[in-house]
Amino acid sequence: MNKPKIIAYLKPSCGWSNGVRAILRKYELPFEDRDIINDMDQRQEMIQKSGQMLSPCVEVNGHMLPDISGEEVEVFLLKNNLVATNDKAPEAPINAPCATHEEAPASPMNLNFRR
């Protein structure tokens, strides 16, 4: 089975982005991991190709899957016979949101000080 050409427009750390990565790794698919947070050119390319601003977006053999979860990527890959079913567990949840401000680890910008 030929491996599809995959470009994934992802955030460095986000539940949905990590879910997409987990599915692509589950099926051992090579992919370009394009950082849309730290590289504004990649973000602009994603917006131009997908016609919207939400992520993740995954391009498979030239077909854009906008605003998609790992779970939805897996369904697409299986439905289009791009991968064969396997029982390997994904390395991360495949349909989890990005962390909210309250769930994010502490950084100098969101420290809480007590008196």
Q: What is the DSSP code (8-state) at residue 51?
A: S
Superfamily of domain 6-79 in CATH is: Glutaredoxin (3.40.30.10)
pLDDT tens digits for the chain (115 residues)?
Answer: 689 999 999 999 999 999 999 999 999 999 999 999 999 999 999 999 999 999 999 999 999 999 999 999 999 999 999 999 999 999 987 888 887 543 334 444 444 445 5
Alpha carbons 19 and 82: distance in angstroms, whole number: 18
Query: What residue segments make up the domains of the chain, in order of their start?
Result: 6-79
Residue 56's contacts (CB-CB under 8 Å, 6 or more residues apart) are: 8, 9, 10, 11, 14, 16, 17, 20, 67, 68, 69
